[in-house]
Amino acid sequence: MKQRFPLVILSKARDLGSSRGRQEPRLLVAFAPRNDRFRRTYGTKAKTIPVVLFLILHSLSFAQVSINPQTAQSLPPAPVPHTGSAQNTSSPPANAPTSSAPQTAGTPMSLTLQQAEAFAVKSNPQISVARLLALASQQVTREVKSNLWPTATGDLTGVDAQSGSRITAGALNNPLIYERAAAGVMVTQLITDFGRTTNLISSANYAAKAENQNAVATKEQILLAVNKAFYNALQAHAVLTVAQQTVNERQTVTNQVEALFKSKLKSELDFSFASVNLAQAKLLLLDAQNNENAAFATLSMVLGFPSLQEFQLVEEANPLTPPPGNVNDLISQAFAARPEILSLQFQYQSARKFQTAERDLLFPSVRALGAVGDTPVGNAAVAPSPNAWNNTYGAVGANVEIPLFNGFLYTARAREANLRAQVTQERLLDMRNLISRDVRTSWLNANTAYQRLAVTQQLLQQANLALSLAQSRYNLGLGSIVELSQAQLQQTQAEISYAQAGYDYRLSLAILTYETTGI
């Protein structure tokens, strides 16, 4: 027998989570069994359930209608994100929700710029790659130098041949084949090749020196990347601090304007402008948080970490000094010390030595040869004595190899090496021009950044004064909300510019040092 269940609609208030504490009715659907057991269990109480439900629905509907419409039309506060990492020294506002930004457990490690540089030199894989390549290039020099040493080879030979047979096909050779078992040693020694091997050794040696300078250049590039990441992280944290202060200050102004608006002392336009300014400050806070996380991710990567690490960066206490005055002296220092120039100079010398070695292929080469051994068992022609230790052999000779004609191969190789040496020389000239430009540009940027220190400080002072005056005029009713909003915007921009100016100058000095003598 099928049971019928009457539909019962229940209403329950749900908190919307706003600062106004509004309630929204939520409907719940339930099914009440209509059967004899239900009636016997609850008796007459079941008849009172519809009446109770009607009273609850009626009271909730009245509560919903009684909400203040003016409060409902006000803008809800935008969520303020959590900073998401322990690198930030300042805490976010109390109403900030939890963020899912990457974190690592543990206490942040205190890190200075010198410690970061030392850690990068030890852990960055690019520096390890450059060092390994430099070590590998040194082995090439040993490989070429091995031609000056004697070459000795041992031979163990066993032959079973048809009696009286001859080799009649193939190249020109001794056709006789004898049954034998023999062992011997053959030694060859280069006497002279008229300088070819010596020039090849010099070329390999210069190439190894060039690779060492490439390793130094890689190290300098990593150190510059560490300086950039370190100062960018400090700068991002300073901007984040300004953004958090801006949010707090504009939240205070918004609360004041809202209170005046509710008291009919300010218009809704003023409250709207204040809310817009607060939302802009919160957007600035979001961007600042993202920039700081990105800066610390870059710093972690440069230091050799595959994941985001937590650092408590320690700023330098050294006073800021003006940049050097004579840029021509800096360019001369760069020409003498930059590893890129030294590397190309060694490459050019290596190419010239290799070109000379390729030319030396046209000269003869003289080698000495020697062979010694024993044939304990074999045909009587090669092992005449029944005593195995008496069937020895030995010979010493010299061979002179004279190139006569090979289709102009050696001439073309020498010409190719000469052209490649000229290419290296042109690259060296181009590198000198690039370094001269980079040093001059870095020097100009450093001077501009140094001048911006005083200008941004003056700008911040004037912006703070303008904001104070605008706030006073607005409180007295002499100024508009537009004037106050403009003053707030200019003051925020001035604070950000002043916070960035110091780190920009320190970074420009690091770049100038890298472009001249190296970090």
Instruction: Map out the domains of the chain as residue ranges.
Output: 7-73, 109-149+193-363+403-516
Rounded to whole angstroms, the Cα distance separating 355 from 350 reads 9
User: Which pTM does this prediction carry?
Assistant: 0.71
Lowest average pLDDT, out of 43-47, 183-187, 312-316, goes to 43-47
- Containing H/E element for 186? strand 180-192
pLDDT tens-digit map of 367-416 = 999 999 999 988 888 888 888 888 898 999 999 999 999 999 999 999 99
Pairing relation of β-strands 151-159 and 23-31? unpaired
Q: Per this entry, what is the length of the chain?
A: 519
pLDDT at 212: 96
40 pLDDT more than 60: no
Task: Name residue 201's amino acid.
Answer: I
pLDDT at 106: 58
418 pLDDT more than 60: yes
pLDDT at 108: 80
- Residue owning tokens 């009286």: 164
- Average pLDDT in the chain: 81
Tokens representing residue 494 in the block:
């001035």
96 pLDDT more than 70: no
pLDDT tens-digit map of 473-514 = 888 888 888 888 889 889 999 999 998 999 999 999 999 999
Question: Which residues, at least 6 apart from 111, have a Cβ–Cβ distance to it below 8 Å?
Answer: 119, 311, 312, 313, 314
Q: Which residues pair with 182 in a beta bridge?
A: 157
Tokens representing residue 268 in the block:
């809704």
429 pLDDT more than 80: yes
- Residue owning tokens 């003053």: 487
**Choice between 19 and 359, residue whose per-residue pLDDT is larger:** 359
Pairing relation of β-strands 151-159 and 109-111? unpaired
346 pLDDT more than 90: yes
Q: Would you place residue 241 in the very low, low, confident or very high pLDDT band (cuts 50, 70, 90)?
A: very high
Q: Would you place residue 180 in the very low, low, confident or very high pLDDT band (cuts 50, 70, 90)?
A: confident
In this prediction, what percent of the chain has a pLDDT beyond 90? 56
Q: Would you place residue 336 in the very low, low, confident or very high pLDDT band (cuts 50, 70, 90)?
A: very high
Pairing relation of β-strands 311-313 and 109-111? parallel
Q: What string of DSSP letters covers 145-183?
A: HGGGS-EEEEEEEEE---TT-B--SSSS---B---EEEE
Roughly how many angstroms between the first and final C-alpha of the chain, as a whole number?
91
Q: Considering only CA atoms, which of 237, 456, 435, 410 is closest in space to residue 330?
A: 435
Tokens representing residue 466 in the block:
């303008």
pLDDT at 484: 86
Q: Considering only CA atoms, which of 356, 347, 343, 357 is closest in space to residue 424?
A: 347
304 pLDDT more than 80: yes
Rounded to whole angstroms, the Cα distance separating 419 from 357 reads 14
In this prediction, what percent of the chain has a pLDDT beyond 70? 79
Pair 188, 343: CB distance under 8 Å: no
- Does the domain spanning 109-149+193-363+403-516 belong to CATH 2.60.120.380? no
Rounded to whole angstroms, the Cα distance separating 126 from 138 reads 19
> Collapsing DSSP states into helix, strand and coil, what is residue 33?
coil
pLDDT at 307: 87
pLDDT at 237: 93
